[in-house]
Homo-oligomer: A and B are copies of this chain.
Amino acid sequence: MGGPTPYDPVEKLEVRMKLFDGGRAPNPRRVRVFLAEKGLSVPLVPVDMGALEHRGAEVAGRNPLRRLPVLELDDGTIITESIAICRYFEELHPEPALFGTGALGKAKVEMWQRRMELNLMASVAAAFRHIHPAMKEWEVPQIPEWGEANKPKAIEFLHLLDHELAEREFAAGDAYSVADITGMIAIDFMKPARIKVPEECTNVLRWYAALTSRPSATA
């Protein structure tokens, strides 16, 4: 896997850039789905996280936390954290608005993005990282008891979310947003974590089916 893939901006960007990408991992995927929803194409530098390449000099020299994704601008400026990278693109390309519009709309997207991340994705990640044998080198020390404690936290949140989604189409209101991206990817992540959406959460299942049928879901 070599350097950047071709760059095909939908509109002129002020700067050139490359995105160090981590494949199937949830956080790199959040940025790719976000870019797909924006209709943007950014040159990707693939990093093989399965081979722990994100701990190598190429990534660690740019992000001391040794995590992906990492966005590097042409002048060497680094932006890490998936949501920070998404916000950068939101500012450069405001349409479609994926962080909400107006003071209240933006607050609601922030609220739901955080709820999806801190209550669902974080619980699913803890279950996966502290229980799955493949994560032994990733999560030191692995504490299976903590992993197990997170499974009911994820389920409890899905029940709450189901109640909310009875009243509206998307997580933060009537428009698709970055909160839906985080939610969809957290639910996808439940498969390797061996947690299932409860059958009675019919609103969650309807919402998830709608999200995964969007072209961006394959990004």
* Residues A88 and B107 in contact, CB atoms below 8 Å apart: yes
Taken residue by residue from 162 to 174, chain A's Cβ proximity to chain B (1 for < 8 Å, 0 otherwise) reads as 0100000000000
How many copies of this chain does one complex carry? 2
Residues of B within 8 A of A92 (CB): 103
A107, A108, A145: residue with the most chain B Cβ atoms closer than 10 Å: A107
Q: How far is the CB of A215 from chain B (nearest CB, A)?
A: 26
Residues of B within 8 A of A64 (CB): 160, 163
Taken residue by residue from 107 to 129, chain A's Cβ proximity to chain B (1 for < 8 Å, 0 otherwise) reads as 11011001100010000000000
Residue A209 is within 8 A (CB to CB) of chain B in the complex? no
Size bin of chain A's contact surface: 20 to 34
Residues of B within 8 A of A163 (CB): 64
Residue A85 is within 8 A (CB to CB) of chain B in the complex? yes
Residues of B within 8 A of A213 (CB): none
Residue A91 is within 8 A (CB to CB) of chain B in the complex? yes
Nearest first, the 4 A-B pairs at minimum CB distance are: A91-B103, A88-B107, A84-B111, A84-B110
